[in-house]
A and B are shown apart, each in its own frame.
Chain A
Amino acid sequence: MSATSETVATQASTNGTSVLLSVDNVTLTFGGVKAISDISFNINKGEIRAIIGPNGAGKTSMLNVINGFYHPQKGQISYKGKTRRRMKPYQAASSGIARTFQNVALFSGMSTLDNIMSGRSLKMKRGLFWQALHVGPARQEEIEHRAYVEKIIDFLEIAHIRKQPVGKLPYGLQKRVELGRAMAMEPELLLLDEPMAGMNLEEKEDMSRFVLDLNSEFGTTIALIEHDMGVVMDLADRVVVLDYGQKIADGTPAEVQSNQNVIDAYLGVAS
């Protein structure tokens, strides 16, 4: 840690922003394969941070480490000033980290409404007794959360599919419902794993709009993985580039674009 995290800290203070999450020297291996080796970077409060890199660079593994699904062999992660090495996924969720998945991971047997309501699980407190009766507090609670969920449904413009089972929705809408489900958790940090993969131009524009609005209106910090460079350059405040599990560049979109390592990684090295 030491050197890197010190520079990180000074960087943050000079910019006048505070660091929400910092990844320090994280290494993750599966058997003998190094998925991530010795990576450090940070995410500032309120920014949109992109993680890019060729296929197999370790981007998704990085997100999995951040929300506790994988446990790194070395290194640590500090979130909101607290440092931890191991964390269960549900602990990450309750401390305000939400995410969407590369391959849509919706609850396919439930309706759009129920899927987004499921994002409210952590905020709902009533026990079995009131739930069984479904009068008084439990009912009240359900209605309050329904109101919040309806706000999200409005925001994402998916009112027309509210009661439909998500399994039958087209892919673009499924991605949107998944974003809605993550939003329902009112996260401080939202991890988006390829939110625009497989979308057409129009859908990408919609999704970009949602991401930007989410960032500015709700103040949610966003870390996203994306392959579409146009989208990344337009949306992101800062970009970190991974290749073969190593960090090869970190900076503003413009800096990254002109970085020779990045160009080599994407286009190959002329030999």
Chain B
Amino acid sequence: MEALSIGLDAFFLAPFRDMFSLPDLLIQVIWEGFVSGVLYALIALGFVLIYKASSVFNFAQGIMVVFAALVLVSLYNYGVPAWLALILTIGVMGLLALSIERVILRKLVNQHEAILLMATIGLTLIIKGAGQLFFGGEPKSMITEELGLSTGSSDWEVFDGIVIFQHIDIAAAVIAIIMVAALALFFSKTRIGRALRAVADDHQAALSVGISLNQIWAIVWFASGIVALVTGIMWGARSDVSFALEIIALKALAVLILGGFTSVPGAIVGGLIVGIGEKLFEVYWGPIFGGGVEAWFAYVLALIFLLFRPQGMFGERHIERV
């Protein structure tokens, strides 16, 4: 009985006491969580763009992030100036989008979602193999300063302690916000955005009113390629550019579950929940389990959430018909 009450206390109360006894640490943890949440959100955003326009669940989004960052860093290492490398990388992502559309998607119009998902798994293998073949598998450091991003940090003295903000993290958050806003404008205000939403609803119906599926698909894949590049730069600046990121990118799946596969705000809110939640859980509850809980927290959270709300946060419950 006593053991039980100690256990309950350790799980339900002690973590909160820890939080309030060191508020500066709490703020630091939340900030760290916020930043990794932004990065999860960015990966999820890439997924959402493609899923909305083609109901392709793009498994390759994670590897595209790695690939974009690798191309950028490698170009620079070959002696290309940073700004030119950036432009060239954008070009490469465009080329990638075009060839994906031309070689894969065009051949799989109107196929079942599961088949499209598997095609992107095949795509993942190709990009991964090609990336390792051309650029080597070892981790590389991102050319943060060369791209004009500050690598310093600022301290904020609060609650008798110090909270450290890396400038690159602030930049990541700001750029992410700008990008999301730009995308939202693009999709709600432009002709292409409207066509894209039509395609998302029904491929055949969209074709029949004269929308070019091929064009739309190339555009969304390019857009998510750009998102991948930005994600890659931000991620690379915080750690190294390596293929290990591919596994972490799977967490975006948990984010999508929370936010819904087709919702841009959902991807962002979901990303932040996962990012902040997993940092808090790791720091305050992790010791109870022996640490390392970050590896599964996102998935278990998403799973529990799904049990109560199978359609996601922003998804609509639809009536099953027979």
Contacts and interface: CB of A to CB of B under 8 A. Distances in A.
Interface in A87-120: 101-103, 105
Interface residues of B, number: 4
A102 B322 CA distance: 7
A69 B319 contact: no
A64 B319 contact: no
A101 B321 CA distance: 10
Interface string B284-322: 000000000000000000000000000000000001111
Interface string A222-240: 0000000000000000000
A103 B321 CA distance: 10
A101 B322 contact: yes
Contacts, number: 10
Contacts of A101: 322
A64 B321 CA distance: 9
Interface residues of A, number: 8
Contacts of A69: 320, 322
Nearest to A99: B322
A129 interface: no
Contacts of A60: 321-322
Nearest to B320: A69
**Residue in B319, B320, B322 with the greatest tally of chain A CB atoms within 10 Å:** B322
A77 to B, nearest CB: 18
B319 A30 contact: yes
A118 B195 CA distance: 44
Contacts of B322: 60, 64, 69, 101-103, 105
Contacts of A30: 319
Contacts of B321: 60
Nearest to A35: B319
Contacts of B320: 69
Nearest to B322: A101
Nearest to A64: B322
Interface of B: 319-322
8 contacts: A30-B319, A60-B321, A60-B322, A69-B320, A69-B322, A101-B322, A102-B322, A105-B322
The 8 closest A-B pairs by CB, nearest first: A101-B322, A30-B319, A69-B322, A105-B322, A64-B322, A102-B322, A60-B322, A60-B321
Given A60-B321, A64-B322, A69-B322, 7 more contacts: A30-B319, A60-B322, A69-B320, A101-B322, A102-B322, A103-B322, A105-B322
